[in-house]
Structures are given as structure tokens and as C-alpha cells.
Amino acid sequence: SSLSSSRLTIAIQKSGRLSRESIDLLKACGFKFSLHESRLLAHSTSHPVDLLRVRDDDIPGLVMDGVVDLGLVGENVLEEARLERLATDFPAVFTKLRNLDFGQCRLSIAVPKEASYDTLQSLEGKRIATTYPHLLQRYLKNAGVKNVSTAMLTGSVEVAPRAGLADAICDLVSTGATLEANGLVEKDVIFRSQAQLIQRPGELSSEKQALLDQLLPRLDGVQLARE
Ligand code: PRP
Ligand code: ZN
Ligand code: MG
């Protein structure tokens, strides 16, 4: 199986906090899929639609490069990727179609509970471990906090202070259980996020556009019914 240019391609997270709800939402919109756990690509059995199941961090780039037509992705991952691409002169254009009512989380700065911390200025001269260096640096710059270095980690960010890699972390928080389990206290929320549906730049073929015109009202209907 491979990607076909005549089928509407939608990138979703393969495994993670958005996977289940992404698939459920598309199914609720009337698209049927047979999902084999190991497969990258899943063809819809009801419509000319393909699901590409990838790491969430890959979704913004796939959409902005026009490799896929649509993507379901968290705003946190999307905005970080956009800033990264702007900084490195890659195309960073996409169209936001809908906020999706799932995947709510916040990106926060947290410090070890024994650390002294009054205001954001307490971070000057410190190192912060994060997967979101661009969002973090933009926030600190706007707040006038200088001389903060970052340690880029794609996972296990919460253990960085204990391991001596950083003084603080900037990571996603949803229930707060991860912070709690690692002796960290949330201090500043720097970004609030939820899942979004985005579209690649450029025009869709008339067939794909017709499918999208079918999908969007169904999506709105499903979301309305859930409220
Ligand atoms: C995020 C984050 C924390 C956890 C926070 O990880 O990095 O580990 O969720 O959630 P909580 O406040 O409910 O404990 P995610 O699930 O996105 O996995 P990843 O770090 O492997 O990407
Ligand atoms: Zn195939
Ligand atoms: Mg993640």
C-alpha cells in the first residue's frame, strides 16, 4: 500500500495522547477504516481517504511541506514546529480549519519543590530542559527574562533536574501526575493547547475539496452533539 494522489490523506498521531480520539472523531464523521496496528497507512473502506499514522512531531512538517492534505495535531507541537521552520527558512504555511475539542493540555515551567522561585526572573542564568525550546524562548523573551539556556530533550524531560541536566523543566502538563511523581511544582503556564485540524497550503483537487466539504459539516455536527 502506498500514498495515492487521488485520495485525501490525513496524518494522525500513531500512538499517544491524541491517537484514540483522532480516529474516533473521523469514525464519528462517517469514515470507516480498518486499522492494522503496525501499518503506517490505513485506507478508508468507505471513502477515498487514507490515514497516515506517524509521530505527532512529524505532522506539522508533513502538512506544511504538502506531503499530506490534512493533519490532526496538538497546537503545542504545531506552534513549536512553525517557529522552528521559520528560524530555519523552511515553508511554515498551513490553514487552520478547526479547533478540535480534545487533547487539552498546557505547557508549563516547573521546578523542583525544594528550589527557591519567586518570579520568572528567578530563572535568569538557569538551564531549562524542554522539548519546546522555541515556545519557551519566545515566552522568556517577551517576559524580558534573559540568559536562560535550554537542554533539548525529546522525552523523559521530568527527570532532567534530578539527573543534574537542568535546573527546571518546561513540559506538557495535563493531570499533573508526572510533575507530582517527580517532585516538581508547576510555576508558569506558557502555552495552552488543544488538538487542531489543519490543511496544507495550495489548492486541493476538486474531488478532495468535495470530500473536505463533506467532512467539515459532519465534524461540526459531531462536536456540537458532544457539548
Ligand atoms: C506528556 C508530558 C508528561 C505527561 C504529563 O507526555 O511529557 O510526561 O504528558 O501528563 P500528566 O500531567 O497527565 O502526568 P506525553 O504523554 O505527551 O508523552 P511523551 O512525553 O512521550 O511525548
Ligand atoms: Zn495500500
Ligand atoms: Mg509527546
- Cell numbers representing residue 207 in the block: 474531488
Cα–Cα distance for residue pair 214/115, rounded to 1 Å: 53
Q: Report how far ligand 1's centroid is from the alpha carbon of 170 (Å).
A: 11
CA of 150 to the centre of ligand 3 (A): 18
> Which pLDDT score, from 0 to 100, does residue 34 have?
83
Low-confidence ranges of the chain (pLDDT < 50): none
C-alpha to C-alpha distance for 67 and 60, rounded to whole angstroms: 10
Does domain 105-192 fall under CATH 3.10.310.10? My reply is no
Q: What is the pLDDT of residues 167-184, one digit of tens each?
A: 999 999 999 999 999 999
Whether 88 contacts 82, CB under 8 Å: no
Q: Which of 78, 73, 39 is nearest to 195 (CA)?
A: 73
Please, what's the largest Cα pairwise distance for the chain?
Answer: 60
How many A from CA of 75 to the centre of ligand 1?
Answer: 15
- Full-model pTM: 0.93
Q: What is the pLDDT of residues 7-47, one digit of tens each?
A: 999 999 999 999 999 999 999 999 999 877 678 999 999 99
CA of 49 to the centre of ligand 1 (A): 30
Q: How far apart are CA 58 and CA 54, in angstroms?
A: 7
Residues in a beta bridge with 12: 53
Residue range(s) occupied by CATH 3.40.190.10 in the chain:
8-103+194-225, 105-192
For residue 140, the number of C-alpha atoms closer than 13 Å in the C-beta half-sphere is 24
Q: How confident is the model at residue 175, as a pLDDT? A: 94
CATH top class, domain 8-103+194-225: alpha beta
| From 20, 106, 174, 191, mutation site for ligand 1 pocket: most ligand atoms within 8 A of C-beta | 174
Q: Which ligand is nearest to the CA of 177?
A: 1
